[in-house]
Amino acid sequence: MSTDVRRPVASPTRRRVRTVAAVLALLVVASCSSAQDAGSDTAPITVGQTSVLDVVDPMSTAWDLTAAGVAESVYTSDRDGTLSSRFVESATRDDALDWTLELRDGVLFSDGSPVDAAAFADAMNRIQTENSLATASTGGMTFTPEGDAVAVRTTRPTMVMESVLAEWTNVVFKGDAAGGFVFTGPYAVGSLRPKEQLDLVPNTHYAEAASRGPVGIRSFADADAMRLAIQSGSIDMAFTITPEVARQLQDDPSVTVSSIEAGYQYFSMLNEKVGATTDLTVRQALDLGLDRQAYVDALLGGRVATGAFAHTYSFAGDLTLGFDPAEAGRILDRAGWVRGADGMRAKDGEPLSLSLVTYTSRPDLSIIMQIMVSQLKDLGIASTTSVTDDIRERLAASDWNAAVYAQHTAPTAEPSYFLNQFLRTGAANNFTGYSSPTTDGLLDRLGTLPAGAERDDLARQIQRQVHTDLPLLFQVDPQWHIATTERLASYRPYGGDYYVINPELGLS
């Protein structure tokens, strides 16, 4: 999930550097495909992205492998958000903590070996042991093969096992004799140049394999480089492009520009452990004093967020996030953060200054961050900014106040995974230091409810509590822009970037 970011305003020197980088990237792609006509139906399909994974490992790159069509979660979501499984025939709740999974016959790994109960349980147990993110919803699970079935025991109750097993961490895999890994998706890894290029071949043990051809995923420095590549025909899809590049491509007859619902949410984590954001009144002033509609306008799509989830979900928030800079100023005044002669605020001689951070693989976030800088100045708040390749490392350092972040908050069409990962006390993605007995209690109760109106209402209650406490600043429910050549004009990724390469790719 990373590469270089272009900010809204760049110096001439930076623009020259980017142009050179873009041309070099285009030449590399062109040289890779010189032996074949890139426009031919028999040539490999080539997808451009701003990042490519660096290692094939189900513990650290499960999400990347699923997005590339190599790995599959136990349950997957279709375009309508309906969950289904190639592996599990039925999931039955036996009591508060125990479930039985009846497995389907005939599902194979890409090496032709069966996904039987023993292989399935081994994969799931390794994930639970080695990836802390996999334990967010249930506190941890153990899997025991029992003939053609698998018994599952959870640490905390869940009424939605199908959704838990659809979480991106829970991919089906096994180790191979060479020390690598084998998966089950429609494609298998042919070769990998870390962070540069992933070449895929059809998984011959997946349905309709004979109709698929090879696929290449290539990394580009930025959306400008992808624009040059798709206009030259060197790639068939650019996923995703910035609003500015979408504008530039809109009138090109050889390219189709489309907008898709991202499913992701853009929000800022507010660090409760250091600096001015430890002060709730400062967080309240940010909530009222930052104009979210300005972000939507700059991104050429989407809408102001109403909570933690995209508007398409039944459990989406019902918040109206207003913009009232005058009231934000009064809140800061009452808290002792008053303007000086230079218009900037301070309290007891301490300037009100925030450190903002975001990361390179989501260019939209840098656009938001730069607008925030201007908005903060209008409020009398100074700020510094930084962009990193490794956002988790930076978040763990905890030397920041606001981290502008993107997350698909409901990839399994269910709210508990995100809420538990980011908001439960001590959770793996709780980088803000947020700890609320009220929220923890609501999350415990959420785990005891089946899908339906009562669970949706409780999810909205949790979002309202989060808006009261403000460890997160909900900002944008975005749309994304993609560009395709005629060859892929009818192909659409879905689920944000969870199914960029899905089983439909390459099928007529």
Type of residue at 40? S
Alpha carbon distances (Å) from 74 to 33, 84, 121, 128, 156: 35, 9, 11, 14, 20
The rounded distance, in Å, linking the Cα atoms of 262 and 282 is 30
Reported pTM: 0.82
Buried b (16+ CB within 10 A) or exposed e, 418-453: bbbbbbbeebbbbbbbbebeebbebbeebbebebee
**pLDDT, tens digit (0-9, with 9 covering 90-100), for 353-402:** 999 999 988 889 999 999 999 999 999 999 999 999 999 999 999 899 99
The rounded distance, in Å, linking the Cα atoms of 137 and 99 is 15
Residue 497, SS3 per DSSP: coil
The mean per-residue pLDDT over the stretch 18-33 comes to 43
Q: Which two tokens stand for residue 39?
A: 């426009």
Other C-beta atoms closer than 10 Å to the C-beta of 172 total 25
Residue 48 has pLDDT above 50, yes or no: yes
Other C-beta atoms closer than 10 Å to the C-beta of 123 total 23
Nearest by Cα to 152 from 117, 183, 185: 117
pLDDT bin (cut points 50, 70, 90) of residue 100 is very high
> Residue 2: what pLDDT?
33
Q: In the chain, pLDDT over 70 holds for what percent of residues?
A: 92
Q: Which two tokens stand for residue 433?
A: 């230091």
Phi, psi (degrees; rounded to nearest 5) at 13: -65, -45
The rounded distance, in Å, linking the Cα atoms of 187 and 215 is 9
Type of residue at 171? V
**pLDDT, tens digit (0-9, with 9 covering 90-100), for 268-304:** 999 999 999 999 999 999 999 999 999 999 999 999 9
Q: How many helices (H) and strands (E) does the chain have?
A: 14, 24
The rounded distance, in Å, linking the Cα atoms of 321 and 470 is 12
pLDDT bin (cut points 50, 70, 90) of residue 40 is low
Other C-beta atoms closer than 10 Å to the C-beta of 259 total 16
Domains of the chain and any CATH numbers: 42-71+185-262+479-507 (3.40.190.10), 72-174 (3.90.76.10), 264-477 (3.10.105.10)
> Residue 418: what pLDDT?
96
**pLDDT, tens digit (0-9, with 9 covering 90-100), for 309-336:** 999 999 999 999 999 999 999 999 999 9
The rounded distance, in Å, linking the Cα atoms of 253 and 463 is 44
The rounded distance, in Å, linking the Cα atoms of 420 and 417 is 5
The rounded distance, in Å, linking the Cα atoms of 90 and 101 is 6
**pLDDT, tens digit (0-9, with 9 covering 90-100), for 130-176:** 999 999 999 999 999 999 999 999 999 999 999 999 999 999 999 99
Cβ-in-10-Å burial (0-12, 13-18, 19+) of 93 comes to middle
Show Cβ contacts of residue 95 under 8 Å, excluding neighbours closer than 6 positions.
Answer: none
Q: Which two tokens stand for residue 340?
A: 């000086």
Question: Phi/psi zone of residue 69: left (φ > 0), alpha (ψ -120 to 50 degrees), beta?
Answer: left
CB distance 413 to 363 below 8 Å: no
Phi, psi (degrees; rounded to nearest 5) at 191: -160, 160
The rounded distance, in Å, linking the Cα atoms of 392 and 429 is 9
Type of residue at 344? M
The rounded distance, in Å, linking the Cα atoms of 464 and 438 is 12
The rounded distance, in Å, linking the Cα atoms of 397 and 373 is 22
Q: In the chain, pLDDT over 90 holds for what percent of residues?
A: 84
